[in-house]
Chains A and B, each alone.
Chain A
Amino acid sequence: MTGICKSFPGARVLTDVDLDVERGEVHALIGENGAGKSTLMKILAGVHTPDEGTIALDGRTVSFKHPTDAQRAGVSIIYQELTLLPERTVAENVFLGREPKRRGLVDRAAMETATGRLLDELGEASFGPRDLVRRLSVAQQQVVEIVKALSVDARIVVMDEPTAALAESEVELLYRLVRRLSERGVAVLYISHRLREIFELADRVTVLKDGAKVTTLPIGELTTAGLVRLMVGRELTDYYPARATRPPGDVLLAVRGGGNDTLDGIDLELRAGEIVGLAGLQGAGRTELAKALFGAEPFTRGEMTPRRPGSVRDGIAAGIGLVTEDRKSEGLALHQSVRDNALLVARARRGRVGTPVLDLLKRVRLAPPSPEKEVRYLSGGNQQKVVLAKWLTVAPNVLLFDEPTRGVDVGAKAAIHELVRELAEDGMAVLMISSELPELIGMSDRVVVLRDGRIAGHLPADSSEEAVMHLAAGS
């Protein structure tokens, strides 16, 4: 891949990226959330077409207009979310859309023999071609995806965060598979945040940052610390509001030994006037922790003050609010007016709202503050301000922000930053999740890092991005 550029409306995602992969090589692609890894892979797989740049296979320039083009040319991609049909057998999934035919009918026997042979080659004996996919574990389903790739004679297999959904014991199985693939001469492009895996598997590493390639190096020339520096090393050019002027006040929320299906051993205190940043890789349990504190996906063990919420209504009654990660699917009723959205929490509690709506909208700097407009017509930043207004109506003590500035333009971002700080100054306890490390570090009075559903460590204000990444990636 040479000189790949790609923009989406409103954002340039990739700038002039080169990437070369050799036969039988395991090539790791790493970078922070949003560095452009997934987009680059989707271009290779024919899901997106590049704005500029070329792709060449065995020296021949190719152009993929559709994922099936890429598949025919020998590029298979295995996504984070598996795309198998749960109610079909393994063999049916492997040959989906290109079933072998005999006299016009699907030749099941041929399908099953071929699938069985590939499973044998991979040394997989825990399930067979006739098993239903829904009965398989996530790791086994990945094996099916790989078999599917091999059955079309894939020469490049792209794996996007393949271990994200795997249990520790299953990761070994995946490593073995990756090595078998490379022994067969298949090139594996391996995307991961987890540095340990990269040092375990990769021959070479390409680092992406903010949509551009930083470097490609053989793994032998790299150390963990060096890799982290390559991933995050950037100037802090953004401006963030000043830190807390007073020392933090009373503890407004405390958890001891909190846990549920995804979280374990969570000890956390949030104090008045303080912004606590919550860092972690995707899948580390950040959103889950916010939802547990709020009561949407409650803790099932551990102690909490105020009383551990068993439901959203408990959480709200205890003075906790959650600004959700995805405002369109979880935060707003898009066809309702700004006013109706802003008043939703208050109305659900049958509470009277002290402040007139218009004042509230001005307070969150909604511009223009038009209460009758349907929120779906608002920009991302303004929508987020409406979500914020919704919580201010009930004056919570603790406000949890999950990626509050995702998909928000620069101006609105600064306004939201100021607002969050202002709320803390007014005596609220704030927890803020952000995948953008500069934002997280720039905003927070201290940072808590999660890894695999547990707290990996605490860091003071103005810690380096490297320090956060070290804890988050577990190196």
Chain B
Amino acid sequence: MRRNLPILGVLAVLLVAIAIANPFFLEPEGFLAFVKRAAPLAILAAGQYFVIVSGEFDLSVGSLVTAEVVIAARLIDGDPGATWPVVLLLLAFGALIGLVNGMVTTLLKVPSFIVTLGMLLILSGAVFLWTGGSPRGALSEEFRQFGRGSLGPVPWSVLILVAAVAAVIALMRSDFGRTLLAAGDNPVAARLSGVRVLRVKTTAFVLSGLSAAVCAVLLGGFAGVSAKVGEGLEFQAITAVVLGGVALGGGRGSAVAAIAGAFTLQALFTLLNLYGISGALEFTVQGLILVLAVALGSVQFPRRAKSASTTA
């Protein structure tokens, strides 16, 4: 918990700032609306966390989200009966893309940055080819409930987020999570301890692909079908994870902090919006955060190491 403190502090400050500008935020409804908007990114960031903590990147998630939404619209085509089979199919497709990313990275030893960049291009090209630029078909009302509807006062997407966070925490406490961290920290030592490093890393990519599928289900419901629904999401997810203090290169940082990073980013966007600052600035803000967070992380590191060596 101690390690999560900096980002939780930043998040708290931003939430207070939002509440000052917009008192509606303090009411349950207003707050839940915020969480609901943040949920897709938070889930995506959780998936990205697994990959980054294993020492890799997943740049493919943005266009994967788009592909998933477009596929869903095309296959469901307004037929309520198709909702659940298609949701399952989307999950399987996300996992499959993650599996391919992971296996190419680990078995063919192609840097994940390149593999997933390639996958980003492949998926967006395929979506474009398939749709000719404007997605066909429609989502069913049932499908859109995941992103739009609620159970009583609580939006479905918030419930799904809570379940996802619980699953991520459980995973990181499991043998898988601990070996994943070790493999990201020192793959050689992990291998010599009997960890199946390649398999563990591949699993991280699969989890990222799955998270993109869940994100797509929520976003499809929330924002509807478009060929741009996932655009730039991969960078938002990476920014969120880095903002949560998770070290690029692997082995360090907590999943909860990564998710808090996603909320922080969303809060920042909300705040910019409230103060009437152009949405176009979002990218610039993201870019600044990304560079600053990494710079801060690497400046801090030697200082800590030094204080440690003097006490040793």
A residues contacting B by CB (< 8 A) are 296, 312-313, 316, 322, 324, 329-336, 340-341, 343-345, 347-350, 376-379, 390
Contact of B175 with A by CB under 8 A: yes
Map CB proximity to A onto B182-215 as digits: 1 under 8 Å, 0 otherwise. Answer: 1001101111111110000000000000000000
Q: Which of A313, A329, A334, A378 meets B196, CB within 8 Å?
A: A313
In the bound complex, CA of A313 to CA of B198 (Å) = 13
Q: Is the CB of B188 within 8 A of A336?
A: no
Bound together, the chains give a CA A322 to CA B189 distance in angstroms of 11
A333 surroundings in chain B (CB, below 8 A): 181-182, 185-186, 189-190, 251
Query: In the complex where A330-B188, A331-B192 touch, is A347 in contact with B178 (Cβ < 8 A)?
Result: yes
Tell me whether B308 is interfacial, beta carbon within 8 Å.
Answer: yes
Set of chain A residues within 8 Å of B190, measured between Cβ atoms: 333, 344, 348
> Please, which residue of chain B has its CB at the minimum distance from the CB of A316?
B194
Q: Is the CB of B182 within 8 A of A344?
A: yes
Listed residue (B193, B195, B196, B308) with the most chain A CB atoms within 10 angstroms of its CB: B193
Instruction: Tell me if A332 and B189 are in contact (CB < 8 A).
Output: yes
Beyond A312-B191, A335-B251, A349-B194, is A344–B178 a contact (Cβ under 8 Å)? yes
State how many residues of chain B have any CB contact under 8 Å with chain A.
22
Cβ–Cβ contact A347 & B179, under 8 A: yes
| Chain B residue with Cβ nearest A343 | B178
Q: Which residue of the partner chain, among A336, A348, A378, A379, contacts B194 with CB atoms under 8 Å?
A: A348
Contact yes or no, A330 B192, CB < 8 A:
yes
Which of A331, A335, A345, A377 has the most chain B CB atoms inside 10 A of its CB? A335
Assembled-state Cα–Cα distance A334/B187 (Å):
11
Considering the chains assembled together, what is the distance between the CA atoms of A469 and B94 in angstroms? Answer: 61
Main secondary structure of the interface of B (DSSP, over half): helix
B228 adjacent to chain A (CB < 8 Å): no
A359 CB, nearest partner CB in chain B, Å: 19
The chain B residue sitting closest to A294, CB to CB, is B192
Of the residues A324, A331, A335, A348, contact of B195 by C-beta under 8 Å? A348
Min CB–CB distance A19 → chain B (angstroms): 33
- Within the complex, the shortest CB–CB distance from B255 to chain A, in Å, comes to 15
CA distance A343 to B190 in the complex (A): 11
Nearest 8 CB-CB pairings of A with B:
A333-B185, A348-B194, A333-B182, A347-B175, A348-B195, A316-B194, A333-B186, A344-B193
In the complex, whether B136 has a CB less than 8 A from a CB of chain A is: no
Closest chain A residue to B200 by CB distance?
A348
Return the contact of B181 from the options A330, A336, A348, A390 (Cβ within 8 A): A336
B189 CB → nearest A CB, Å: 5
**Which of A316, A324, A333, A336 has the most CB atoms of chain B within a 10 A radius of its CB?**
A333
Residues of A within 8 A of B196 (CB): 313, 348
Whether A329 pairs with B312 at a CB distance below 8 angstroms is no
Contacts of A350 in B (CB 8 A): 175
In the bound complex, residues from chain A placing their C-beta under 8 Å from that of B181 are 333, 336, 340
Least CB distance, B171 to chain A, in whole angstroms: 13
B252 at the A interface (CB under 8 A): yes
Nearest B-chain residue to A315, judged by Cβ: B194
A-B residue pairs in contact (CB < 8 Å), sample of 13: A296-B192, A312-B191, A324-B192, A329-B186, A330-B188, A333-B185, A333-B189, A335-B252, A340-B181, A347-B175, A347-B178, A348-B175, A348-B190
B-chain residues with CB within 8 Å of residue A313 when the two chains form the complex:
194, 196
A332/B186 contact (C-beta < 8 A), A347-B178, A347-B179, A377-B312 known: yes
Which of B178, B185, B195, B311 interacts with A334 by CB under 8 Å?
B185
**C-alpha gap A378/B192 in the complex (Å):** 21
CA–CA, A363 and B252, complex, Å = 28
Least CB distance, B49 to chain A, in whole angstroms: 15
B308 touches A329 (CB 8 A): no
Indicate if the CB atoms of A376 and B178 lie closer than 8 Å: no
* Cβ-defined partner of A322 (8 Å) among B178, B186, B192, B252: B192
Residue from the list B179, B188, B251 in contact with A344, Cβ < 8 A: B179
Contacts of B192 in A (CB 8 A): 296, 312, 322, 324, 330-331
A330 touches B189 (CB 8 A): yes
Q: Interface centre among B189, B252, B312, by most A CB within 10 Å?
A: B189
Residues of A close to B186: CB separation below 8 A: 329, 332-334
Contacts beyond the supplied A331-B192, A333-B189: 12 A-B pairs with Cβ under 8 Å = A296-B192, A333-B181, A333-B185, A335-B252, A336-B178, A336-B182, A336-B251, A340-B178, A340-B181, A343-B178, A348-B175, A348-B193
Bitwise, B237-257 to A at CB < 8 A (1) or not (0) is 000000000000001100000
Report A238 CB to chain B, min CB distance, Å.
24
User: Chain B: which residue is nearest A351 at the CB level?
Assistant: B175
CB distance from A410 to the nearest CB of B (A): 16
